[in-house]
Amino acid sequence: MATVDLSNKRIVVTGGAGFLGRKVLAQLASAGANPEKITVTRSHDCDLRILENCQRAVDQQDIIIHLAAHVGGIGLNQAKPAELFYDNLMMGTQLIHAAYQAGVEKFVCVGTICAYPKFTPVPFKEDDLWNGYPEETNAPYGVAKKALLVQLQSYRQQYGFNGIYLLPVNLYGPEDNFDPKSSHVIPALIHKVHEAQQRGDKHLPVWGDGSPSREFLYVDDAALGVVVATQDYDGAEPVNLGTNYEITIRDLVELICELMGFQGEIIWEIDKPNGQPRRCLDTERAKQEFGFTAQVELKQGLKNTIDWYRHNQ
């Protein structure tokens, strides 16, 4: 399959002003896309839950990269499951349908690791996606996103519509969301350690017991994966984007404390939820199908993220 020449393509990036979106725009430019032909949709002026906005967004476009999502950590998932289900399902399903109707050449859908079953053999293989129900706290979000895979596969089967589906693992990096009310685990921990240091605290309370494992993908690597797949992958099967490196939350907290110079004691709040027991991806398909492997190791990525936070918080 020939690599898609992006230089003359009209590209829409939904959520392009977001954490991953800004990096995808940079990678598109590096891959030769014309910045003047790229449109970024933002939620405040293009609510994709409204069909007419989806139709306007895809009109006369060649490639849609759908990154927009209503997303957050365990806290948000517990507080707003209905909103997370509805918003993510409506945005995605209407955008895909509008893109098909408008004759868009290619639709790139970025899904979520939350779509995997709660108990999935580790490392997660894409073929295990349907072998059970997702972890309860993030199931509404995960199921809504997973429905978009079914839609893309069925539109491919019936209409020959070229839609691909990517499953990035938890992202982190500079410019992440560090708001403790809605952030994911790495930025939440960095913020928490920083605040403890500012106050001179001798203890650091952390949710859960530290036993779950996670895998983290540096945001620049994720953006590279999205753009390489946009250029080089046309398959119906979903593809994981990750590092294949697994770390326990306990080890992650200790590493962040070490990198930030926090000397206090970590207090595990075992009455708080742990989330999914283990997460680590099989990344072989991305390597085989479009030659993607992550470049940035976790320790270096954490250093970059902490440095950025300290300069910008």
- Amino acid identity, position 170: N
CA–CA gap between residue 172 and residue 186 (Å, rounded): 7
pLDDT at residue 176 tops 90? yes
Average pLDDT in the chain: 94
Q: Average pLDDT for residues 74-83, to the nearest whole number?
A: 81
Residues 21-48, mean pLDDT to the nearest whole number: 95
Query: What integer pLDDT is reported at residue 1 of this predicted model?
Result: 65
Q: What is the total count of domains within the chain?
A: 1
What is the identity of the amino acid at 301?
G
pLDDT of res. 181: 79
pLDDT > 70: percent of the chain: 98
Determine the angle formed by the axes of helices 19-30 and 219-232, rounding to 10 degrees: 50
> Is the sign of the CA dihedral 258, 261, 263, 267 positive or negative?
negative
In angstroms, rounded to a whole number, what is the distance separating the alpha carbons of residues 293 and 224?
9
Residues in the chain: 313
**How many C-beta neighbours within 10 Å does residue 272 have?**
14
Mean pLDDT for the stretch of residues 116-129: 94
Residue 45 is predicted with a pLDDT of 85
The structure tokens listed for 76 are 């948000």
SS3 state of residue 76: helix
Which residues are annotated as catalytic? 141
Span 259-278, average pLDDT: 90
Contacts (Cβ under 8 Å, ≥6 apart) of 284: none
Residue 264 counted as domain residue: no
**The pLDDT of residue 209 is above 90:** yes
Assigned domain for 201 exists: no
User: Could you tell me the residue range of the domain that residue 104 belongs to?
Assistant: 11-172+217-245+278-295
More confident residue, 171 or 78: 171
- pLDDT for residue 274: 81
- The CA-CA-CA angle for residues 313, 81, 122, to 5°, reads 80
Position 3 confidence tier, pLDDT thresholds 50, 70, 90: very high
Mean pLDDT in residue range 37-48: 92
The answer to whether residue 161 sits within a structural domain is yes
Confidence of residue 72 (pLDDT cuts 50, 70, 90): low
Residue 31: inside a domain = yes
Residues that constitute the known binding site for NADP(+): 15-21, 145, 168-171, 184
At a CB cut-off of 8 Å and minimum separation 6, what does 222 contact?
20, 23, 168, 171, 241
Counting residues of the chain whose pLDDT is more than 90, the rounded percentage is 86
Does residue 59 belong to any structural domain of this protein? yes
Q: In 3-state terms, what secondary structure has residue 266?
A: strand
pTM over 0.85: yes
Contact 216, 207 (CB under 8 A): no
Task: Answer whether residue 76 shows pLDDT above 90.
Answer: no
Classify residue 158 by burial, with Cβ atoms within 10 Å: 0-12, 13-18, 19+: exposed
Whether 260 maps to a domain, the answer reads no
CATH classification of the domain holding 122: 3.40.50.720
Model pLDDT, residue 148: 98
Residue 210: inside a domain, yes or no? no
Please give the helix or strand (H or E) that residue 171 lies within, else none. Answer: strand 170-172
The pLDDT value given to residue 275: 77
Q: What is the mean pLDDT of residues 8-13?
A: 98
- Which DSSP string do the residues of 9-27 spell out, in sequence order? --EEEETTTSHHHHHHHHH
Beta bridge partners of 167: 240
Give 272's contacts (C-beta < 8 A, 6+ positions apart): 207, 208
Known binding site for substrate: residues?
192, 207, 214
What DSSP string describes 212-271? -EE-EEEHHHHHHHHHHHHHH---SS-EEES----EEHHHHHHHHHHHHT--SEEEEETT
pLDDT digits 0-9 by tens, 137-154: 889 999 999 999 999 999
Here the tokens at position 93 are 């399903």
Sequence-ordered list of residues with C-beta below 8 angstroms from that of 158, at least 6 positions apart, any chain = none
Instruction: Supply 152's token pair.
Output: 């893309």
When pLDDT is averaged across residues 110-132 and rounded to a whole number, the result is 94
Sign of the four-CA dihedral 216, 222, 224, 228: positive
Whether the per-residue pLDDT at 2 is higher than 80: the answer is no
DSSP state, 286?
H
At residue 125, does pLDDT exceed 80? yes
Say how far apart CA 25 and CA 275 lie, in whole Å: 32
227 located within any domain: yes
Q: Is residue 184 pLDDT above 90, yes or no?
A: no
Instruction: Give the Cα-Cα-Cα angle 172, 225, 1 (nearest 5 degrees).
Output: 175
pLDDT (0 to 100) of residue 277: 82
pLDDT of 152 reads 98
Binding residues: 15-21, 145, 168-171, 184, 192, 207, 214
